[in-house]
Amino acid sequence: MLALLLLPLLWAGSPQDTGLELQVEKSVTVQEGLCVLVPCSFSYPPPWYSSDPVYRSWFRDGDNIYYGNAVATDNPNRAVKPHTKGRFLLLGDATTRNCSLSIRDAKTKDTGTYLFRVESVYSVKHSYEDNKLNLRVTALTQKPDIHSPERLESGRPTDLSCSLPGSCEGGRPLAFSWTGAALDSLAPDTLVSSAITLTPRPQDHGTNLTCQVKLQGTRVTTERTVQLNVSYAPRNVTISVFRNGTVLENMQNTSSLPVLEGQALRLRCAADVNPPAHLSWFQGTPALNATPISSTEILELLRVQMEHEGEFTCRAQHPLGSLHVSLSLSVHYPPQLLGPSCSWEAEGLRCSCCSRAQPAASLRWRLGEGLWEGNSSHGPFTATPSSAGPWANSSLNLRGELSSGLRLSCEARNVHGTRSGTVLLLPGKSVLGAGVVPAALAGAGAMALFSVCVCLTFFCGSRQKPWPDSPPDQESPAGDAHPPGEQELYYASISFQETDGREPQDQKARGTTEYSEIKTSK
């Protein structure tokens, strides 16, 4: 009895002197509906009797600590407030000096100040007035977390999960729901779970995926939206054609692209792929270890030449696969005229003319004021055309006696220009009995070209072994034998005419005249 009377005198000093200390955070904030753990430890002198148990209790500051209800306690003789029962829980026990408080499903009315107290039946009764807990409950702003790999792979099933940070087991029940274009193939009942299994597709890349969390029994919801990053192999590889900095068209696989010789051409390759693929260009179909002509998305030809004609291929290389697209480059150019070339046959005078152009040229003849085009027949005059690839040939048969001063021309025309060649016999010289009639060739008008064209003209009008990329065979315009007789000197006027279809506003015929010495049999 004397010990009980002396105990208050022994505890009359400061808490440090008596060994009564409390370590707890002075202020704690938690969002509504979430959970929070408040770490706490305390010290106290051992009870006078070792059989005297020590109980722990948390009270709302201002409540009666002697007769009021605690918000959390391990004292079986203490009542707990109905509002906090099952939500405010004491952790540990007194022997470990643990006073930590777990708060679940925090409510706005939980905001306030709380006091910790220890007491035993006979010896210890102390409230830690110097260290109180200030609890503040705010509105829910916490967004859920969506757990997924940084990059999804197309076609591979992947588990995704959603959680609300700050929620805890035993707290407010949560309701989950998922929305997004990538989920259209999933059953609706699978979208109300915290975890789903998604098999992404290429078209799902960049789409939004949303997880919404609702606190059951309330109208409080929170959600988070992420953008899916789906890795997939190349698809829809396209080639864009640039001229003068402007996109003219987008080419699909095996498309044909006509380009005028001498023009600049810029091609850009693009592939629908994630992450970006390595793009490279090849001329022709690339072999396994072929060396590219360009290792970027851009292929630039500063001046298109004939050797550029053919297939160009862009290859998109990716860890998940590769894909390539090709286009066929067709080099266009104005006509190159070979002829006309004329000779006598039994039926009369036969002239031939051939042209090479892309697209192939149309040929027509002029004799005096007359005009023959295509396959036509006018009395004693017959024109017969033929063509193969870029080559176009035309033969003209003239039957009967022809007047002197004859002017005969062959004209080749396509969308890029016109070329013509003219034969003119000098007045006073009859063509009757002449073995070979001189021919004029169309070109640029340079004598250097003339010698080459004479050889090609002979090729176009004779039966010889065909050369590669040569015009189709046609009957020989010359007979096997010429009438015997002495040679007589004639002169022929050879006129070169050309127009350029690329500049229609200034399209004027440009011509030169050259003279050549021609010997014929008589």
pLDDT in tens, 131-168: 999 999 999 999 999 999 999 999 999 999 999 999 99
| CA dist., res. 143 & res. 211, Å (int) | 9
Model confidence band, residue 483 (pLDDT cutoffs 50, 70, 90): very low
Higher pLDDT, 18 or 304: 304
**Span 417-460, pLDDT tens digits:** 999 888 765 444 433 333 333 333 333 333 333 333 333 333 34
> Are 182 and 204 within 8 A, CB to CB?
yes
Model confidence band, residue 18 (pLDDT cutoffs 50, 70, 90): low
Architecture of the domain spanning 237-319:
Sandwich (2.60)
Spell out the residues 6+ positions from residue 328 whose beta carbon is closer than 8 angstroms to its own: 254, 255, 256, 257, 310, 311
Model confidence band, residue 254 (pLDDT cutoffs 50, 70, 90): low
Model confidence band, residue 16 (pLDDT cutoffs 50, 70, 90): very low
Q: Which fold has domain 333-521?
A: Immunoglobulin-like (2.60.40)
- Left (φ > 0), alpha (ψ -120 to 50) or beta: where does 368 sit? left
| CA dist., res. 156 & res. 149, Å (int) | 12
Higher pLDDT, 116 or 488: 116
Spell out the residues 6+ positions from residue 130 whose beta carbon is closer than 8 angstroms to its own: 15, 22
Higher pLDDT, 490 or 397: 397
Residue that has been written with the tokens 């021609």 in this structure = 518
Mean pLDDT of 242-258: 75
Spell out the residues 6+ positions from residue 254 whose beta carbon is closer than 8 angstroms to its own: 326, 327, 328
Please give the CATH number for the structural domain made up of 145-228.
Answer: 2.60.40.10
At residue 51, the pLDDT reads: 75
Least confident interval from 319-323, 380-384, 479-483: 479-483
DSSP states of 139-154 as a string? ---PPPEEE--SSEET
**Span 315-335, pLDDT tens digits:** 999 999 999 999 999 999 999
Model confidence band, residue 23 (pLDDT cutoffs 50, 70, 90): very high
Mean pLDDT of 224-252: 85
At residue 193, the pLDDT reads: 92
| CA dist., res. 358 & res. 184, Å (int) | 53
Model confidence band, residue 24 (pLDDT cutoffs 50, 70, 90): very high
Mean pLDDT of 108-124: 91
Please say if the pLDDT value at position 1 is more than 50: no
191-200, 348-357, 371-380: range with highest mean pLDDT: 191-200
Single-letter amino acid, residue 11: W
| CA dist., res. 77 & res. 73, Å (int) | 9
> Are 357 and 368 within 8 A, CB to CB?
no
Please say if the pLDDT value at position 470 is more than 90: no
At residue 290, the pLDDT reads: 86
Higher pLDDT, 429 or 169: 169
> Are 466 and 456 within 8 A, CB to CB?
no
206-210, 368-372, 451-455: range with highest mean pLDDT: 206-210
Higher pLDDT, 278 or 437: 278
State both tokens at 477.
Answer: 């315009």
**Span 402-417, pLDDT tens digits:** 666 667 888 999 999 9
Average pLDDT along the chain: 78
At residue 504, the pLDDT reads: 40
**Span 61-84, pLDDT tens digits:** 999 999 899 999 999 989 999 999
Evaluate if pTM is beyond 0.85.
Answer: no
For residue 313, CA distances in Å to 167, 235, 286, 328, 330 come to: 57, 15, 7, 9, 14
Please give the CATH number for the structural domain made up of 16-138.
Answer: 2.60.40.10
Query: Which residues in the chain are classed under CATH 2.60.40.10?
Result: 16-138, 145-228, 237-319, 333-521
At residue 398, the pLDDT reads: 79
